[in-house]
Amino acid sequence: MLHSTWRRMFRRTALAAVLGAVVTGLGVVAPVTTSAAAAAGTLQQVTNFGSNPGNLAMYAYAPTGLPSGAPLVVALHGCTQSASDYHAHSGWQKFADQWGFAVVYPQTSSANNSLSCFSWFDSSKDTRGKGEAASVKQMVDTAVAQYGSDRTRVFVTGLSAGGGMTADLLADYPDVFAGGAVDSGLPAQCATTQTAASGCQYSAQNLTPKQWGDKVRNSYPGYTGPWPRVAIWQGSSDTTVAPVNGTELRDQWTDVWGIGQTASSTRTLTGGTTESVYDDSTGKAAVALFSVSGMAHGLAVNPGSGADQCGTTGTYYLNYICSSYHTAKFWGLDGGGGGGGTGSLPAPSGLTVTGTTGTGASLSWNAVSGAASYNVYRGGAKVGSATGTAYTDTGLSAGTAYSYTVAAVDSSGAVGASSAAVTATTTGSAPACYTANNYQQVQAGRAHQSGGYTYANGSGQNMGLYNVAITHTLKETSTGYFVIADSGC
């Protein structure tokens, strides 16, 4: 059934038809459907990612040569948009290529909602283990298995209705997502029915921070683990999702973190943007609110070739600031560890792989004047530090590629800019791959059959009917854990 709130929104602005024209006129090559994961360097559809109770489509992008242990970002489009549209405009591809991570783009359709909105307002679809939320979780599991992604660094972001669903997913699955970014979206579980949705969009709900926080805590009762770090983007002139939603999101997630609503620091960024950061008890940013002066409803982009520029403009892609860049840095995807910025020291030059073994990689780099020490990052996560200009990482898997960056740290502990990345490949055999028909895969113990269908052991990916006519390549990413690797092993 069409969500009447979003119908009224698009009638009032008369933009639905325009956006449809923009999407179809992008000139983007249609994604290619594949039963395995996406081929490196292209946006492709991924099928057979689970039971898919939310009736969503999965698209994925991974840079060529992506090493195991890299982060994973899930990006949800807005109403009337698509996965390819969001991939083309949002700027996430630039930083996936630059900093080394995969991106999954869930896509809904008019079969679910006449305006192709994610159902952030429907408790049968946006809660843990149900509907669209469960489908997104299945996409994460499939991508993690295929790319060898670091499960401790899975992030989710979304625009508008996709932003509302992002907040819900963070509340539903704090054990899955390390961080999130809500762009022009709504607080988690603000509305649980369609009739209540318009109130969330257009007006304050007059709830206390604790009441907002309870909506998150009640989404996964009994959860005692760490909470996601949340970036909030809101335009001050948004008439579709009222600016008060940014404040309510701030109240909600600072209460969840137990850190109060007084900013630890503020700074002015480009595009009339004010960043307010709320630190946790260790002094690391837990919540950040980015308020963009004069911006209407949409995703903030800033086309150009600068390091902090990204995206292309279009309907609901507005030229103010590259939100994807600042979100990625807030999460620490640039190797700087997150927290909303870096120190003044320059990036170390000359980072080189000086040697590898089956379980280790040795690095060296040029000294930076003023550095007291250096942080070493593997796939964007800090793995160690050194007072000199060399470091050996250990405990790695044989025959596996790893991406490294290094950043200088001054005497006050401020972390400078990260170096360019280098890739180290450990010696020894890479994960084994096996190509055979489904019957043979089962007989060899790499898969099992149930109800006439074949499923890969470990990942549980559906390989199709249990017969000799269907052939797949299975990759053993860990002992007894197999994933479909038809697109390359």
Active site residues: 160
In a 3-state reduction of DSSP, which class is residue 161? helix
In a 3-state reduction of DSSP, which class is residue 176? coil
**DSSP-derived pairing of the beta strands 361-364 and 390-393:** antiparallel
261: Cα within 13 Å, side-chain hemisphere: 14
Closest Cα partner for 323 from 41, 94, 165?
A: 94
Closest Cα partner for 471 from 460, 462, 483, 463?
A: 463
User: Which amino acid, 344?
Assistant: S
In a 3-state reduction of DSSP, which class is residue 21? helix
Q: How many CB atoms within 10 Å of residue 405?
A: 27
Characterize 423-436 residue by residue with b for buried, 16 or more Cβ atoms within 10 angstroms of its Cβ, and e for exposed: ebbbeeeebeebeb
Closest Cα partner for 60 from 28, 92, 13, 19?
A: 92
Which helix (H) or strand (E) element contains residue 411? Answer: none
**Sign of the C-alpha dihedral, residues 84, 46, 104, 488?**
negative
Nearest-10 Cα torsion for 375, 377, 382, 388: -30
Residue with tokens 């970014």: 181
Contact between 474 and 484 (Cβ < 8 Å): yes
Tokens for 257, please give them: 């973190």
User: Which amino acid, 315?
Assistant: T
Closest Cα partner for 76 from 120, 38, 40?
A: 120
The whole-angstrom separation of Cα 322 and Cα 302 is 5
In a 3-state reduction of DSSP, which class is residue 122? coil
The whole-angstrom separation of Cα 104 and Cα 485 is 17
Per-residue DSSP letter, 458: B
- What are the CA-CA distances from residue 65 to residues 79, 98, 113, 378, 433 (Å)? 33, 12, 37, 15, 17
